[in-house]
Amino acid sequence: MLTRLADNLIIPGYTTLMARIEVCSTECEELLADPTPTAVLAARYQWVQLHYAWSLVQMYDFGPAESATGNLGVSIGTFPVNASKMESKISSADTSTANYDRDSRGIYGVEYLLFGTTGDSTDVATGFRQQPNRGAYLRAIIRDIKQRVGQVHAAWTGPYRGSFIANNGTAIGSSTSLVFNEFNKSYENIKNFKWGIPLGMSPGQSGPEPTKVECYYASLSTEYENQSIAATKIHFGGVVRTWECFRTYLDAVPGGADLKTRTEDQIDSVKRALDAFPMQPSLATQIVSAPTPASKVYTELQKLTRFFKSEMSSRLGIAITYSSGDGD
Amino acid sequence: MLRRYITSTASILPLVVLRILVGLVGLLSTIRFMVLGWVDDHYVRPVMHFSYDGFDWVPIPPQPWLDALFVVMALAALGIVLGAWFRITSILFVVLFTWVFLFDKAYYLNHYYFIIVVATLLAMMPAHRAFSVDVLRKPSLRVDRVPRWMVDVFKLQVAIVYIYAGIAKINAPWLLDAMPLRIWLPAHDTMPVIGPLLAKPLTAYVFAWFGMVYDCTIVFFLMHRRTKWYAFGAVVVFHLCTATLFQIGVFPYVMIGMSTIFLVDAHYAHDTVPVPRTIGVLAAFILVQVLLPLRPYFYPGNMFWHEQGFRFGWRVMLMEKAATATFYVMDGEGGRANEREGVVVNSEFLNDMQERQMSTQPDMILQYAHKLAAHYRARGMRDPHVRAEVYATLNAAPGRLLVDPTQNLAVTDDGCAPYAWVTP
């Protein structure tokens, strides 16, 4: 299972992501050399590819993706970004990434710069033309993403793959427990932060908050308003791919076969809810104007949670790596 | 005869060994806790804490006082090891360790409680009156012999732990289905040599029955002069096994260390030492130790499911339980039926460990619901209704509802009565 995960999902995932970052970076350089609306559209297209690649590896936020200053997911995947903080950094020509302002950079920081608050490519091109600082900031945060992903990618294509595969079993610190725990965290993040919070599901919220959807700025653009919906569907695709690596384990354990059936029934329910979820208008618009299909997706994701979060770990005897590993 | 027993003496050596051992465990756990950054992870970062019944007044000092508390606790433990100002350091250690223990029951561990129990007993004993800094300071303190019961009381305490742990294993899932060992052992099937054996169900049955018999009987073999060394060998092997197979921290080593009390020659003799007044306190303490673990037997239903009276009973490594708890909150003011119900993101309030513990234990589920109600009331809700949908899985059974999902937990009181809102 670990070999399959490493060689079929994780390493190719990071390799693709690295390639997408390269292409996006090149396209952004062309945009900065000559800021035209056409160049903006070309750079946006590459950003969408980059985001797609990211959505497939974001749940592998362990091992090389862990660092003293925060995991890769936090470093380059924080959303929503703080637009006013970014604007003030741009006007003061502050391009440093050696700080904890993750909400002013990363993949969603690039999104903000390329799509802007109106979604109009002419506005974005004008911004880059008039503010050299803006281009410098874009360049700096892309460099930061490239550097961080590059480190993770280098570790996986280098020594980490071997130790990951050798570290078998399900005890504390084993590769399976790492994959499993990050998978669960990532799943809950998708459910809570990509659906629940924008839908206004939290008791502290009085209604939907469209600006909190993932890819909010991309969804303002008429060319890419499907983006956030497509990305969310893709996220679940990533969940299912990882689940397929786990499911074979369940055959061998007490109660496993039954759990597998019940989990897959619920996965099918989520898929049906996602299929019934219209591709247009954007998620940000739908949660305000017609929230029922989105709520349905959230509800089905919620029902699926327990199968991953408690039942699977319990059946497989996977050590949940909590700080206090001192047992009973 | 009782008088004759109480006035007879034993060598002080077992007490000295115990003093050094308990001090070292206290010292190492405290240092480890600090070095691993657990002070902040456990007590500073989380915004909510779960107090024990009747102890919600116990404050958690803010930083840097909390770090200072741990440093003083480590120094006190060192004082116990060295027998330096033992009366003060031992009592200080018990007070500080218990204080930290009471911060949050999400981190309850039987071995923390065990350290409290043993350190409390020790603080009542003259364990510093040989091989200690105190004797160097004041040679007149030095004694070679102590009342016999002072040594025996620790044997009794170890016996209470083992026997209750053994009795707890006499239940149908453990003995007849080899649960949860049948889940836990195969998880180690990649271990060298014995790995493949661990995957076999028969191995789980052997472990289950052996574990039960071991826990119920080991102290009797330890007490018998002829068998004590064999029994100690069994203690070492047994606990090293559990240390390798399960995530139970220092507990196996503590038990190995404690068992040495049976080995160190106490050299009993009939004597006529006076009976100190502390013996009454001690008798009461032991009585509490005998009675506390019996609480869950007074509640109907499966104690592994409702967990009422479960703590402080040496029920260790007995079940594989996991749950996912989802809390729904709405403002029920004026009974507005269409009021939207919000779903709580638990990670907003609890760390992973707290959430995991809370999800499986009904008393903590209720406590969390009350805390959520208070939180949303402070944020402007007039009458927060809190209900919980908790799917729990016990020993690989399909997950089912642990508490009544329609119950408004915000107005449900805790207490000693059986929880009517927990599903049977």
Q: Kindly report, residue by residue over A107-121, the tens digit of the pLDDT.
A: 999 999 999 999 899
Interchain contact, B317 vs A196, CB within 8 Å: no
- C-alpha distance from A302 to closest chain B C-alpha (Å): 9
Is the pLDDT at A321 greater than 60? The verdict is no
Q: Which two tokens stand for residue B341?
A: 């119900």
Chain B residue numbers with beta carbons less than 8 Å from the beta carbon of A301 are: none
B363: phi then psi, degrees, rounded to nearest 5: -65, -35
DSSP type of residue A307: I
Is the pLDDT at A224 greater than 80? The verdict is no
Give the C-alpha separation, B311 to B23, whole Å.
Answer: 24
Give the list of residues 6+ apart from residue A248 with CB closer than 8 angstroms, or none: A1
What's residue B396's pLDDT? 87
Q: Which amino acid is at A219?
A: S
Within chain A, residue ranges assigned H as helices are 2-4, 11-33, 37-57, 72-77, 83-91, 107-115, 121-130, 132-157, 160-166, 175-189, 197-199, 216-220, 227-250, 256-275, 283-289, 292-306, 313-316
Residue with tokens 């008393």: B363
Interface contacts (A, B; CB < 8 Å): 140
| Superfamily for domain range A2-166 | M75 peptidase, HXXE motif (1.20.1420.20)
- C-alpha distance from B419 to closest chain A C-alpha (Å): 23
Helical packing angle, B278-291 and B110-123, nearest 10°: 160
What's residue A324's pLDDT? 41
What's residue B339's pLDDT? 66
Q: Which of A169, A192, A328 sits opposite B110 (nearest CB)?
A: A328
Is the pLDDT at A287 greater than 70? The verdict is yes
Give the C-alpha separation, B133 to B399, whole Å.
Answer: 57
What's residue B273's pLDDT? 79
> How far is C-alpha A164 from the geometric centre of its chain's CA atoms?
22
Please answer whether residues A193 and A205 qualify as being in contact, where contact means their C-beta atoms are separated by less than 8 angstroms: no
> How far is C-alpha B387 from the geometric centre of its chain's CA atoms?
30
User: Residue A81: which of A54, A58, A98, A102 has the closest Cα?
Assistant: A102
- C-alpha distance from A166 to closest chain B C-alpha (Å): 10
Give the list of residues 6+ apart from residue A190 with CB closer than 8 angstroms, or none: A232, A235, A236, A239, A301
What's residue B333's pLDDT? 67
Interchain contact, B316 vs A328, CB within 8 Å: yes
Radius of gyration of chain A (CA): 20
Tell whether omega for the bond before B64 is within 30 degrees of 0, i.e. cis.
yes
What's residue B335's pLDDT? 54
Secondary structure element (H or E) that encloses residue B32, with its range: helix B13-35
Please answer whether residues A90 and A137 qualify as being in contact, where contact means their C-beta atoms are separated by less than 8 angstroms: yes
> How far is C-alpha A77 from the geometric centre of its chain's CA atoms?
6
Distances in Å between the Cα of B297 and the Cα atoms of A82, B66, B307, B308 are 56, 38, 11, 9
- C-alpha distance from A205 to closest chain B C-alpha (Å): 8
- C-alpha distance from A137 to closest chain B C-alpha (Å): 32
What's residue A322's pLDDT? 46
Interchain contact, A318 vs B323, CB within 8 Å: no
Q: Is the CB of residue A252 less than 8 Å away from at least one CB of chain B?
A: yes
What's residue A111's pLDDT? 96
Is the pLDDT at A148 greater than 80? The verdict is yes
What's residue A200's pLDDT? 93
Interchain contact, B396 vs A315, CB within 8 Å: yes
Chain B residue numbers with beta carbons less than 8 Å from the beta carbon of A306 are: 323-324, 391, 399
What's residue B57's pLDDT? 96
- In this structure, chain A runs to a length of 328
Handedness of CA A62, A64, A65, A66 (dihedral sign): positive
For B2-155, strand residue ranges (E) read: 9-11, 145-147
Give the C-alpha separation, A50 to A57, whole Å.
Answer: 11
Write out pLDDT tens, residues A46-103: 999 999 999 999 999 999 998 877 899 999 999 999 999 999 999 999 999 888 889 9
Give the angle A82-A84-A90 at the CA atoms, nearest 5°.
105
End-to-end CA separation in angstroms for chain A: 30
A292: phi then psi, degrees, rounded to nearest 5: -55, -50
Please answer whether residues A314 and B321 qualify as being in contact, where contact means their C-beta atoms are separated by less than 8 angstroms: yes
Q: Which of A202, A314, A325 sits opposite B249 (nearest CB)?
A: A325
Q: Which string of b and e fits B73-95 if b means at least 16 CB within 10 Å?
A: bbbbbbbbbbbbbbeebbebbbe
Distances in Å between the Cα of B86 and the Cα atoms of A311, A312, B26, B119, B349 are 49, 50, 14, 12, 41
Q: Which of A252, A315, A326 sits opposite B249 (nearest CB)?
A: A326
Give the C-alpha separation, B47 to A130, whole Å.
Answer: 46
Q: Which amino acid is at A298?
A: Y
Please answer whether residues A314 and B400 qualify as being in contact, where contact means their C-beta atoms are separated by less than 8 angstroms: no
User: How many of the other CB atoms lie within 10 Å of CB of B417?
Assistant: 9
Mutation target among B189, B338, B343 for the A interface, most CBs of A within 10 A:
B343
Chain B's closest residue to A325, CA to CA, is B247
Q: Which of A196, A253, A262 sits opposite B345 (nearest CB)?
A: A196
Q: Which amino acid is at B171?
A: N
Distances in Å between the Cα of B110 and the Cα atoms of A19, A20, A49, A326, B48 are 52, 52, 52, 10, 22
Q: Determine the 3-state secondary structure of A73 from DSSP.
A: helix
Residue with tokens 């009939």: B270
Q: Determine the 3-state secondary structure of A25 from DSSP.
A: helix
Q: Per-residue DSSP letters for A184-234? A: HHHHHHIIIIIIIHHHT-STT-SS--GGGSTTHHHHHSSSSTTHHHHHHHH
Please answer whether residues B254 and B25 qualify as being in contact, where contact means their C-beta atoms are separated by less than 8 angstroms: yes
Give the C-alpha separation, A107 to A75, whole Å.
Answer: 9
What's residue A325's pLDDT? 45
Write out pLDDT tens, residues A230-273: 877 878 888 898 898 888 888 878 888 999 999 999 999 999 99
Interchain contact, A205 vs B342, CB within 8 Å: yes
Write out pLDDT tens, residues B10-36: 999 999 999 999 999 999 999 999 998
Q: How confident is the model at residue A323 (pLDDT cuts 50, 70, 90)?
A: very low
Give the list of residues 6+ apart from residue B339 with CB closer than 8 angstroms, or none: B330, B331, B332
Interchain contact, A310 vs B323, CB within 8 Å: yes
Give the C-alpha separation, B61 to A49, whole Å.
Answer: 50
Please answer whether residues B358 and B106 qualify as being in contact, where contact means their C-beta atoms are separated by less than 8 angstroms: yes
Q: Which residues of chain B have pLDDT under 70?
A: 333-339
Environment class of A43 (CB within 10 Å of its CB; exposed 0-12, middle 13-18, buried 19+) = buried
Chain A's closest residue to B196, CA to CA, is A169
> How far is C-alpha B119 from the geometric centre of its chain's CA atoms?
14
- C-alpha distance from B192 to closest chain A C-alpha (Å): 11
Q: Which two tokens stand for residue B64?
A: 């840097």
- The full set of domain ranges for chain B reads 2-298, 320-411
Give the C-alpha separation, B16 to B22, whole Å.
Answer: 10
Chain A residue numbers with beta carbons less than 8 Å from the beta carbon of B36 are: 323
DSSP type of residue B44: I
Mutation target among A195, A206, A301, A306 for the B interface, most CBs of B within 10 A:
A306
| Torsion angle of the four alpha carbons A311, A316, A317, A323, in this order, in degrees rounded to the nearest 10 | -70
ipTM of the prediction = 0.89
End-to-end CA separation in angstroms for chain B: 50
Give the C-alpha separation, A18 to B265, whole Å.
Answer: 69
Secondary structure element (H or E) that encloses residue B331, with its range: strand B321-331
